[in-house]
Structure 1
Amino acid sequence: MKRMFMWMLALLFSTLVGAAQAEDVLLGAGDVLKVSVYGNPDLTLETRVSETGSITFPLVGEVAIGGMSTSQAEKKIGGLLESGGFLRKAQVNIIVTVLTSQQVSVLGQVLRPGRYPIEGKRTLTDVLALAGGANPEGGDVITVIRNRNGKSTREVIDLHDMMQSGDMKQNIELNGSDVVYVDRAARFYIYGEVQRPGQFRLERGMTVLQALSVGGGLTLRGTERNIRIKRRDAGGNLQVLTAKHDDLIQVDDVVFVQESLF
């Protein structure tokens, strides 16, 4: 429940902030535009931005608009119409009807994985909201691959910690071609004399006693004495530890509950 609350809080925050941050879309290859000039219906054009980031507009020819905002592209086309002597005062309007160039990929354990358009400023929580948040298998750890100036960087963000602290510095702004990956939630394993042996979600701060509860408690033959934990150390070596009730469970721990001797 606590984890679900954190996700819902993040989605609510993204909705409020996203509305406040909406601004011009950056244009790029593949985008479909409807361009019109006030008072000149014959100059209305619906076209697709080429792979080189340009369109061909009546009277002025090829116009490079890739990487520009819609308002910048409007001013550029208007300026070319005026400087070419075609119009005295050109009021150009551009509507993006299909946005394909500025899209973020959201992958992993989300309800609706896919590619989502970046319309204006979009933060990490904005994009997670578009993807419906984490599915039941999703965790709080998110990996973001960002592409800037031809270079890729990788950043790991703990959504739970960010929302708990209220420090939104890690609620980073995303650009087209960025990738957001929601990892699978951490797991632990329990077997032996428990009612429901198997793998389970590892909650933060989970103790051995809580792990027994998740496993349905002991069988009639089980004992809480001499519980063993099998754990890999930093070097990958397997350790077998005798566990106390208040010891913390770690990622991929295997908990073994022994049979009582009496």
Structure 2
Amino acid sequence: MPRWSAGGVADRRGYLRGSPLRVARLLCTVTVESEACRAIVIIAWTALSLSAFANPGEYRIGPGDTIAVQVHGEPLGHDGKFVVAASGSVSLTCAELVDVAGQTAYEIEQTLRRALMPDCYVDPQVTVRVAEHRSQPVEVLGAVQSPGVYYLDGRTTLRAVVTRAGGVKSDRSTGQIVVTRKGHDPLRIPLGALDDVLGDYPLEAGDIVTVDEGRIVFVTGEVAKPGEFAFAEGITVSEAFIKAGGRTAVARLSGSYLLRDGEKIQVNLRRILKGKDADMHLEPGDRLVIPESPI
């Protein structure tokens, strides 16, 4: 089970602020391995999300964005698409350079309306929408189908960006997602919590999202519960075998072997369990295979 703590979910330097999180920290001041602590933190996240997303449509235009502008008025209407320059301005036929960076579409409508009067139009009606979002990039790295740069389009959550990147490559829940933001300590979220309220964490321009599936080992063959297991430093062959539920009735422990980086390494589990051979330490990605006894 992942270790949950208020400090572990949100850093002390301001990733999240507000009374709900302070309550969570008071109730969960030390790292606790319990669903109760996890629930406390998720409740705090829910409350914070409601306040953080109070105005989700307020996308602010920046350099690189393309805006579509329609102008209705005398003497002639006008419409077109304009790329916001690095300086934060756009150039219209009648209004040379108009600063628009940092404004919402509605605010730009008012800015352009003022810029077009009275020399160009009589009481112009201006409509602005974002045609292409390119000013607020985030980078998605690691174990996703399509790593790369994606662009925020208003309120964009961690879950939404991971989905745009094709989702996590597997359904493992042993890893974590790390959000790196300039000026803050990394935010670490258990991979299995992406579908919780934690997945609603709002991203900001410049964030780097790294999906780490986590380090795992595999136990396959004649064991009660074959599969993958979270790697822990110091885990041994016998411990992995026990995690997999032990042997089946037809297991041949003396013929067990490890697959490591394409190499086959013989391990005699029978002798290891009897204390006659040293217990090998596993490495991330190792696959322990327990073969079937010949009939």
Does TM, scored on the shorter chain, surpass 0.5?
A: yes
Structure 2 CA distance for partners of 1:257 and 1:48, relative to 1, 3 Å: closer
Corresponding residue number in structure 2 for 1:209:
242
> What is the deviation of 1:182?
0.3
The answer as to 2:137 corresponding to 1:116 is no
Which letter maps to 2:229? L
How far residue 85 of structure 1 moved from its aligned partner, in angstroms, is: 5.0
User: In structure 2, what is the equivalent of residue 182 of structure 1?
Assistant: 211
RMSD value, Cα: 4.0
2:273 is the counterpart of 1:225: yes
2:190 paired residue among 143, 147, 158: 158
Q: Report the equivalent of 1:238.
A: none
Distance 2:153 2:215 in 1: 33
**Equivalence for 1:63:** 98
Question: TM-score by structure 2 length?
Answer: 0.56
Whole-Å Cα distance in 2 between the matches of residues 209 and 152 of structure 1? 41
1:48 aligns to 2:83 (yes or no) = yes
Alignment partners' CA distance in 2, 1:255 and 1:119: 43
Is 1:171 aligned to residue 171 of structure 2? Answer: no
- CA deviations 1:74-128 (Å, max 9, x no partner) are 121112223x454343321123323211222211101122222211101111111
* In 2: Cα distance, 1:74 partner to 1:127 partner: 29
TM-score, normalising length: structure 1: 0.63
Q: Judging by fraction of residues, say which structure has more strand.
A: 1
Q: Provide closer, same or farther for how the CA distance between residues 218 and 88 of structure 1 changes in structure 2, counting only shifts above 3 A.
A: same
Q: How much does 1:58 deviate?
A: 2.8
Number of aligned residue pairs: 208
Separation in 1 of the partners of 2:253 and 2:198? 51
**Per-residue Cα deviation, 1:180-201 (whole angstroms, up to 9, x for no partner):** 110133223779xx779xxx74
Deviation at 1:45, TM superposition (A): 3.0
Amino acid at match of 1:156: R
1:142 deviates by 0.2
